Amino acid sequence: MIKLNGYKFETHEIVTEDGYKSLAFRIPPKIHDNRKEKQPIVLDHGIQYNIHTTAAFVLVNAGYDVWLVNQRDSGYTTHVKYKMSDFKFWANSLDTVATKGISAILNTVATATNKSGSIIYIGHSRGATLAFMYASEYPEEAQKILTGVVALALIIYFEPVFYVKLLFQLSPVLSLNVPLSLMQVQQYARMFHSGKFQKYDYVKKGSILKYYQEQLPLYNLTNCKLPVYMFYGTCDIFIKEKAVKKVFKELGCSEKEYFRIPSGTNTKKLKFGHNDYLFAKDIEELFYRNLLRVLDKLQPKK
């Protein structure tokens, strides 16, 4: 898709400390384009491979150095020890993907661009969740590498529609023998039930049908000192403004804002859902213009 749209790109291999090797696709701006001083932007995806190519083209055209990254559960990943058919290849909680994957990605981009401190991270859905897990666990590293985070359809606290609630009610059934990347879905379900931004609830060997632990380690959003900008859709099936406000209040940064899509008073008939950042036909008017204005606020301080 990148080639077909006339852009050049580079392929970079990102290796995590626990042995995963994922491909990142870098789309650099044109050599003579000095807008934004070629500021790097990392685009991270939800629970699928990265298909944010349209956003990538918009950002490259605006002068940014764009990195489409892929996490360990995408089709662009191998492991030094496990095959994709192995159970252990897929046995990763959100915590593991955040602490191992995000750190490796950002350090790779920082080294390749020599732009540590000016990198912008844009995460959609799970990608946004991972950013806040990482920034909460490694606040000093995050502040050293990043200049800000843009969170799209952030899932930390939930206000789901009724059928999503029903799905989450099934989470205890998965408690004893969770296959593959369902660990991450299960962790989201536990966060929904508890109303807390918490780590994965591992089953202790020797326990009898025990899954729900009384006290789980929490992520502390006050550790996140980076500038944060959040976008949410009015028809998102997982969150509403109340959930976004809760994150907003807990963040430890002084520079923070959140935006509703669509905005304004004459847009009640327009609907913007969880995945419309990928597929909405009016995406330029509804989102990209606002996104570019936000990114202007995250220019490196001179």
Report pLDDT for 107.
Answer: 96
CA 27-31-37 angle, 5° bins: 80
Helix (H) / strand (E) element for 110: namely helix 103-113
Rounded to an integer, what distance in angstroms lies between the CA atom of residue 239 and that of residue 298?
A: 26
pLDDT at residue 212 above 60? no
SS3 228: strand
Task: Pick the more confident residue, 203 or 300.
Answer: 300
Q: Does the pLDDT value for residue 190 go beyond 90?
A: no
SS3 per residue for 127-140: HHHHHHHHHHHCHH
Task: Give CA 22 to chain center in angstroms.
Answer: 16
Point out the least confidently predicted range of 15-19, 137-141, 214-218, 233-237.
214-218
Measured CA to CA in angstroms, residue 151 lies from 46, 95, 183 at distances of: 11, 18, 22
Helix or strand or coil: residue 273? coil
How, if at all, do strands 65-68 and 40-44 pair? parallel
Report residue 123 as tokens: 């995460």
Which residues, listed in sequence order, are joined to residue 77 by a DSSP beta bridge?
Answer: 22
Tokens of 287: 């989102």
pLDDT (average), residues 47-53 = 65
Q: What is the DSSP letter of 99?
A: I
- pLDDT confidence of residue 147: 96
Domains and CATH numbers, the chain: 10-87+94-158+220-296 (3.40.50.1820)
Q: Which residue has the tokens 């750190």?
A: 103
pTM over 0.85: yes
| Residue bearing the bigger pLDDT, 206 or 234 | 234
Alpha-carbon distance of 15 to 165, in angstroms, equals: 36
* 74-133 pLDDT, tens digit each: 778 999 999 988 888 888 889 999 999 999 999 999 999 999 999 999 999 999 999 999
Residue 211: strand, helix, or coil: coil
Whether residue 184 is predicted with pLDDT greater than 90 in this model: the reply is: no
Question: Cis omega before residue 262 (within 30°)?
Answer: yes
